Chain A
Amino acid sequence: MVEGQIPIQEYQTGNTKHTWNIEKLLSAHKKLSEHSYTKGIVEKGYANRTLYVNLTTGEIKEKNVSEDMKHLFTGGRGFGLKLLWDSIKPTTRWNSEENELIITTGPLCGITQYPGSGKSLCLTVSPSTNIICDSNVGGFFGPYLKFAGFDALEIQGKAKKDVVIVIDGETGTVSIESAPLEETNSHLLSEQLTHIYASEDSDVSRQKVSIVSAGTGAEHSYWGCMNFSFYDIRRKVPRLKQAGRGGLGTVLRDKHVKAIVVKVETIDGVSNHPVDPDTLAMVGTKIHREIRDLDRFQCNMRSVGTAHLAEIMDAYDLLPTENYRFGSFPKAPRIYSPEFYKLFTKIIPDGCWHGCTMACAKTVDGYTVMTGPYKGQKVTVDGPEYETVGCGSNMSLWDPLWILEFNFYCDTYGIDTISAGTAIAYYMEMYEYGILNKERCDGLELCFGNGEAVLELLHRIAKGDTGEFIQTAAKGIRRVKDWLKKKNWGEPYLIEECGMESKGLEYSEYVTKESLAMQGGYGLTLKGPQHDEAWLIFMDMVNNQIPTFQDKAEALHYFPMWRTWFGLNGLCKLPWNDIEPENNAETDEPAKVPEHVQNYVDLFTAVTGVKVDKNELINQSERCYNWQRATNVWLGRGTRKDDWIPYRSMGPVTPLEYGSRMQRYDDQLVEKLGLKKEEVEKMSIEERIKELYRYRQDQYQKLADAVYYRRGWTPNGIPTPQKMKSLGFTDKKMLSMLQKKIDEDEKNGLNKWCGTYRGKEKPPSDIPRYWEKW
């Protein structure tokens, strides 16, 4: 449909239409608990209270947000970290009674003038990692939660049966209701609930409702994502954005929450009551125009979203193919973005929040489902994003339709495409080696490229299949590694080093073998290997801008802090550097996009009235970043050992991989390791792999040394009490916990650098317990 100017009420998607018996669904609801609250107004970006819901006891209460909390934690993910710290214990695991699922907003969340300002930040103790996982997601829920009266929502305890939590900003009530008859899978459930809770039978009313849900796949796997809805007045369906990583949806379903509903009475351009709306409009208009004029020459986000990355990654040998063995593939052009462009619906304001003119939230409408319970129906598929396309190449699925099918079912089942795709790619490689086979896979022929088997696996997970493989596979790579080793089905080296997980979480879709900084960007992280902390491949590998360990450490300090900032404020990272001012390349630090950093400084002040500069933004992040690492330590992880990454992310694990880039690796043995060309030629491939392995592992340890030092941590990666105090923290429980851990490390000899330093090379500091001198 490339016509434009179609009146909204006449717009057609060609999707299968559903009619629901709303009365029947609703009459089966029983109110289990209810709480009325005074509707307040949001002031300078803050609602100044949070909402606490306990599903075990039925308690619903409001908590005050203090000035101190705003100062130390800013908002969004920062608030989430503080609320978690106050509620959980060091022994808390994902399915513990006291584990919380938190959805937060942030002071800039919900402004409409600047693109990318409607994100929710979700946190919980993750089933995959047993530490805190945070996930940034679009959709209307976050802004509506704030405009309904709350900066954050905290859910503790577990309901006995499936419930929905309803936050009604129109009447000022919060209720917990049983919801036995609704569907569970998200594309249908969000539609039902949107119709049930909209005040009137109109698109305007439906657009004022947002639903959080997770499907049956989230119930039966550790890959559960949460779907956040945003009702599309043109397509007339609630569309879905995913809080994907770390199993948030799994926790949601474990708490027996079928959905969370939020509804607002009104919204307008100043619902946040910013101190300076004119500046918001001015800065916003400036970047909207940049997008208008430059996006088509830069990322083409408006036409294909993040999918434009497929061809770039393929060109730079970074597109993960067949479980990250290769970074490019001859069949890859079949899934380049022009192939998806053909399928995407065009000329629609595709922002996942109002006013996002970057509009990367593309859909395929009227897609005919090929397999499973919805076979033959026509649906709207949200995506695919680059990551999902990358999952396709990783599983060797080179047909856009299979990628769409995978995308659709992952979403509606509440499964994170990244975790599932990366994990299945690993299972496929194990299948190729015979470590897995049809029998061991409960009858599935999980070889590379078998789209039907991939979908069958998803369907069986969603149905709660009890096969040993299905059950283990659904828990992700880490559990499968342990299972394969226990079964003694293969060489532990292959099993361990090929599986792309760190901390128990699956990698997202970039090949990092040739970028040491990016290996750190995945490994030296808080929640696990997700590229949202740093994306340094071009700076490091292509442009060689950060050659030394110190340079890399500086980048692995600045960028994770900077990117954390978006999550504290309820913002999307994409409009920061997926569009750049025309003269960006001529600025001092193009990688930082200085003009856009200034935009954020101006926005923060225009909303909150608090005067800040760009350094203060980094301080805000540093506080929360360190707090989260410290919480990981408290939960028993967050040390050097936990920042381990598999060798597949560092270099060639197998002779096949080595052979595929033979020249590159041979040259490195000469140039970097100082071997003679003739020596290399005499070595077997296995010996060359071993040499490279030793070298690269040491490089990673040296990088960790430099990064920990730069971040103000001990050589074992523990944030020091001295650092925490300098950030303004006085929490005694936190400070003494860290000191105790550091003392223990001292006893166990862990406060030492782990790189091997020869000749002129030096560790970051030769002073023992250097942090005590700070």
Chain B
Amino acid sequence: MQETNTVKILRFHPEKCIGCLSCEKACSKVHFKTEEGGENSAIHIIKKNETFEMNVCDQRGLCLDMCPVGALARNKKGIVILDVKRCIGCQACVAFCPINAMRKSSKRIEPFKCISCGACVRACPEGALELVETPIKDIRKVVYHKQGA
């Protein structure tokens, strides 16, 4: 499916962030039609001492090789998409994601993730988020498969 060598991923500018979580609210709206944010949002903004950190999928695609039913694939734009209809809710992708960016909400058994749609970018009043075009080869990660440590 993938026809491009680059993919849009989120970049965060913590110095601009005020911690209002507008991005999370916008994200949960996209995924679950709710403004609850939190566990229903694919992007998480976490307060760390005096500053903020972002946790979100960077489209590395390690989960692609975990899915037993082929519910995960890169679309034409290189974005890793979870096909809810095909997913059987095994949580393998959730558990194996090394940055915990594949999410599980209690609203349904199938996980969800960042689709680089930009809703959060648009929602941020401070311009702390942007989508940047990144070469897939720079972010691509493959699940550990060697024998031994």
Contacts and interface: CB of A to CB of B under 8 A. Distances in A.
Categorize the interface residue count of chain B: 35 or more
A4 B69 contact: no
A289 B65 contact: no
Given A207-B69, A269-B89, A300 B96 contact: no
A233 B70 CA distance: 8
B49 interface: no
B117 interface: no
Interface stretch (A77-85, A340-348, A414-422, A551-559): A340-348
B140 to A, nearest CB: 6
Contacts of B88: 112, 267-269, 354-355
A304 interface: yes
A337 B147 CA distance: 9
Nearest to B140: A5
B147 A349 contact: no
A112 B73 contact: no
A113 B104 CA distance: 12
A278 B73 contact: no
B91 A204 contact: no
Interface in B125-147: 140, 142-147
B55 interface: no
Nearest to A346: B145
A296 B96 CA distance: 14
Interface string A1-15: 011110110000000
Contacts of A8: 70, 73
Nearest to B147: A303
A347 B89 contact: no
A3 B140 CA distance: 11
A292 B96 contact: yes
Contacts of A113: 89-91, 109
A269 B69 CA distance: 12
Given A113-B90, A113-B91, A346-B145, A269 B65 contact: no
B92 interface: yes
Nearest to B94: A285
B117 to A, nearest CB: 22
B91 A349 contact: no
Given A203-B70, A269-B110, A338-B147, A347 B142 contact: yes
Most B C-beta atoms less than 10 A away, residue of A7, A203, A351: A7
A493 interface: no
A418 B5 CA distance: 49
B142 A4 contact: yes
B109 A268 contact: yes
A5 B110 contact: no
A277 B109 contact: yes
Contacts of A289: 95-96
A269 B2 CA distance: 27
B61 interface: yes
A270 interface: yes
B16 interface: no
Most A C-beta atoms less than 10 A away, residue of B1, B106, B110, B145: B145
B89 A349 contact: no
A288 B92 contact: yes
A300 B147 contact: yes
A299 B1 CA distance: 36
Interface in B34-66: 61, 64-66
B65 A347 contact: yes
Contacts of B96: 288-289, 292, 357
Contacts of A268: 87-89, 109-110
Interface in A283-299: 284-285, 288-289, 291-292, 296-297
Interface in A119-145: none
A178 B47 CA distance: 68
A112 B95 contact: no
Interface string A253-282: 000000000000001111000000110010
Nearest to A4: B142
A288 B95 contact: yes
B68 A354 contact: yes
Given A270-B109, A303-B146, A281 B91 contact: yes
A629 interface: no
A347 B104 contact: no
B66 A7 contact: no
A284 B111 CA distance: 13
B13 interface: no
B77 interface: no
Contact of A349 (B2, B66, B86, B140): B66
Contact of B89 (A207, A270, A291, A351): A270
A302 interface: yes
Contact of A285 (B69, B95, B142, B146): B95
B21 interface: no
A233 B88 CA distance: 14
A281 B89 contact: yes
A207 B67 CA distance: 13
A285 B143 contact: no
A351 B68 contact: yes
B1 A349 contact: no
A354 B65 contact: no
Given A112-B89, A277-B109, A4 B70 contact: no
Contact of B2 (A3, A4, A7, A304): A7
A296 B89 contact: no
Contact of B147 (A277, A284, A341, A351): A341
Contacts of B90: 112-113, 269, 284, 354-355
Interface string B82-124: 0000111111101110000000101001100000000000000
B148 A300 contact: yes
Interface of A: 2-5, 7-8, 112-113, 203-204, 207, 233-234, 267-270, 277-278, 281, 284-285, 288-289, 291-292, 296-297, 300, 302-304, 337-338, 341, 346-349, 351, 354-355, 357
**Which 7 residue pairs across A and B have the least CB separation, nearest first?**
A269-B89, A355-B90, A288-B95, A4-B142, A269-B109, A112-B90, A303-B147
14 contacts: A2-B145, A7-B1, A8-B73, A112-B89, A204-B69, A268-B87, A270-B109, A296-B144, A296-B148, A338-B147, A347-B65, A349-B66, A355-B92, A357-B92
Given A7-B2, A296-B149, A355-B68, 9 more contacts: A7-B74, A233-B69, A269-B90, A270-B109, A284-B91, A341-B147, A347-B142, A349-B92, A351-B68
